[in-house]
Chain A
Amino acid sequence: MVANDVDEGSGSTSGAGKKPRQPRTIDDLYRQSSQFRMWSFTHESLNEIKTKTNEKGRKKATETFNHALAQFRQTNSTEYEAHASELTVDLLLDLLTLEEETKYINFYCKNIIETANFFRMPTQVKATAVSFFRKFYLVHSTMEYHPKNIMYTCVFLAAKSENYFISINSFTKALRNTENKDILDLEFTVLEALHFTLLVHHAFRPLYGFYLDFQAVLLHPEPRIRGLTNERLASLLDKGKEWIMEKALLSDIPFLYTPPQVALAAAYAVDKEVCELYLKIKFEDKLTSIKEEKESEEKQEIKQEEGVKQETEVKQESTENEPTALDSAPLTLLLLLETVQLCLKDALGVPESTVEENKAIDRKCYFALRPKKLIEKRIKKLSNG
């Protein structure tokens, strides 16, 4: 990006007659972030990635199972011969489906929040840990890495990257059955899966920004809605934060929308009236002013066209440019509302899972990672029965 800038810059200084480029907006700034470049997806591509990862995990689990079976066959051939027909992949191995994996990951996301609460970590750390965890399981499957230690590693890493350092010794001391090695060994694996992108833009600060702007737009100089007080906005902020923590983080919307959009969705979910009014005031004015500008520009162009007929080529270029300018033109109110509502819908469509379900999934995952145990268990059962 930087090299590009320099190139374009030197080009523009040499050719003085060149048309100036479209200025970079604040949105372009976000488009340069790793979060947008690497961790933002459409619904379809996100699903595709998840399916692929699930398939990868299944393949890996089958391979390890076959390997374990072959080993078992070598060491205990008599037992194997006796029950050869019972010991096949299809009969024994019960792998996680995509939905099960999703539920399993969500279950662990809640665990992350609990773990982080236990260490009294700030919201930012919690949210980053969840984000790391979800990103990790876009790259790897639960059938490759068991979520428990990955979860702790993510919390540990997030604490470091969010400047809330906790030493590895005090960290593992507080956790049961976890050694330093378990976490430190996985640290690089997790970092690799994250492509070393450690900065996560959360929706919390944008929400706070909107809370400030609500005050500026709706409350000052006088309230735009009857009964709108500072207290109502403050509770909107608090509840909005909770909403982001409980709903947004546990769903896929951080992958599908930008932080400000998620923040607006949170505000919309908590206090629809305030949010809608704000958007209307804020963006309808803007929209009309932009339209006026466009119209005046067009008028000018028409005048020029009458004057000079030879510059048809240049004109064509400018007309070609216009649609793109409209495309990237700031948000229309409708588009924004639509996005916010879609975001809300996506946030609410998270499947809930019961305790029994979770236990069953956990068993499956456990055996998928340790096929030897699975084989031994089945042998025991067969020889007993």
Chain B
Amino acid sequence: MIDDERSRDMCPICKTDRYLSPNMNFLINPECYHNICESCVDRIFSLGPAPCPYPKCGKILRKNKFKKQVFDDLKIEKEVDLRRRISAIYNKTEDDFDDLKEYNLYLEHVETLVFNLINGVDVEATEQEIKKYEQDHKIDILEINMRESQKTSDLEKYQEAMERMKQEKLKIQHQMELEDLEYQKQQKQSLLDRLSSSNIDSDEIIAQNNSRVNKRLSMRKQQLQQITSQLEQQFENTNPLAQHAKALAAEMPKTPFTPFQGDRDLTSYYTLDNQYNEPHLAKLAKDKEYLGAGWRPEAVYERALDQAFMGLGCLVQREKA
């Protein structure tokens, strides 16, 4: 533990300590994952590829491959790098397969490759397989890449537009608030003026003023709502995702929704009468508590009538024989 802690704080090459140079950074290279401080990397690898300065390592490293360590655990760091590499090659999505089973098989295969590389099982054979796959499917990989990047850029655009709309809304709101403040000031001033100059009853003047202010307030509210709804509409029109959805909807055949895929016989044996003699239910139908909760006497009638005809034509004796 202590050793670990120390090695994290001290570069083993130049022995610089974090205590003395608090803004030193460690970098690693995915070739060997050894920790080297930034200044050492600059110093050793500026002139081109050089062997890893760690004793007994000696792997040839390049400066441009050095990166900051994201995860504390090197194992995880390694795995993430590996997965990034593999997923750049094996980048098929579910849309590329006819059915789920095939897709799952493909995922399983990829996972096996990753497992092999991480745990050092048949590393060479696996690497060769990956290489071969990459060569064989070069064009496919590129194509899928293009497609996916299109999708993500759509999403980015959408988020951007959303953010822009929000800002716009806030700006408008702010502006209106400022205007309101100004208006209020004016009103106050004019009210005072009138109170001092005119000879009408002061209460009346205040009432007049109040009603005017209220009117304006409601008008402003309406205005604000209108503007925001306009903005939203505009946003919907420019939104790439919405356009995509619209295109999809246009492709789909337009059939009305029918329960049970339209195979339900919807002929009814009865027609609801609106003058059943039900004093009890009629009383409830005037009760606001019942109506507020969504209760309707028709629901009671329909349920009873539905059940009255449900199974009327089932002749048990004949059908079970």
- On A, residues with C-beta under 8 Å from B are 5, 9, 12, 20-21, 23-27, 29-31, 33, 36, 40-43, 45, 201, 205-210, 212-213, 215-216, 219-220, 230, 233-234, 256-261, 263-264, 282, 328, 330-331, 335-336, 339, 342
Which residue in chain B gives the minimum CB-CB distance to A35? B311
Instruction: Evaluate contact between B307 and A212: CB separation under 8 angstroms.
Output: no
Asked whether, in the complex, the Cβ of A26 is within 8 Å of the Cβ of B276, the reply is: no
- B106 within 8 Å of A by Cβ? no
Q: A25-B265, A216-B270, A258-B311 are in contact. Are A208 and B304 (CB under 8 A)?
A: yes
A258, B316: Cβ atoms closer than 8 Å: yes
Residues of A within 8 A of B272 (CB): 216
Q: A215-B276, A216-B271, A220-B275 are in contact. Are A27 and B305 (CB under 8 A)?
A: no
Q: B314 near A212 (CB under 8 angstroms)?
A: no
User: Contact at A5–B311, with CB atoms within 8 Å?
Assistant: no
A27 & B275 in contact (Cβ 8 Å cutoff): no
Give chain B's interface residues, CB within 8 Å of chain A: 260-266, 269-273, 275-277, 301, 303-317, 319-321
Are B265 and A24 within 8 A (Cβ)? yes
Contact residues in B for A45 (Cβ distance below 8 Å):
320
Q: How many angstroms from the CA of A117 to the CA of B313 in the assembled complex?
A: 34
Give every chain B residue within 8 A of A201 (Cβ-Cβ).
307, 310-311
For A40, give the chain B residue with the smallest CB separation. Answer: B316
Complex partner residue of B265 from A26, A259, A261, A282, CB under 8 angstroms: A26
| Closest Cβ–Cβ distance, residue B284 to chain A (whole Å) | 15
Cα distance, A341 to B277, chains bound together (Å):
28
User: What's the least CB distance linking A48 to chain B, in Å?
Assistant: 12
**Are B311 and A36 in contact, CB atoms less than 8 angstroms apart?**
yes
Given A41-B320, A208-B304, A213-B305, A24 contacting B264 (CB threshold 8 A)? yes
Q: How far is the CA of A220 from the CA of B320 in the complex (A)?
A: 38
Q: How far is the CA of A21 from the CA of B226 in the complex (A)?
A: 51
Q: Which residues of A contact B312 (CB under 8 A)?
A: 27, 258, 260-261, 264, 331, 336
CB distance from B212 to the nearest CB of A (A): 58
Name the CB-closest residue of B to A229.
Answer: B277
B270 touches A213 (CB 8 A): yes
A26 and B308 form a contact (CB under 8 A): no
Residues of A within 8 A of B265 (CB): 23-26
User: B315 — which chain A residues lie within 8 A by C-beta?
Assistant: 335, 339
Contact: B304 with A205, CB < 8 Å?
yes
| Known interface pairs A42-B317, A212-B273; 14 further A-B residue pairs with C-beta atoms within 8 A, sorted by A's residue number | A5-B260, A23-B265, A26-B309, A30-B311, A31-B314, A36-B311, A42-B320, A208-B308, A213-B270, A215-B275, A215-B277, A258-B316, A260-B310, A331-B313
- 5 A-B Cβ contacts within 8 A? A21-B263, A26-B265, A208-B308, A215-B277, A258-B316
Bound: A234/B279 CA distance, A: 12
- Please give, as numbers and ranges, the residues of chain A lying within 8 Å of B277 by CB-CB distance: 215, 219, 230, 233-234
Across the interface, do B316 and A5 meet the contact criterion of CB distance under 8 Å? no
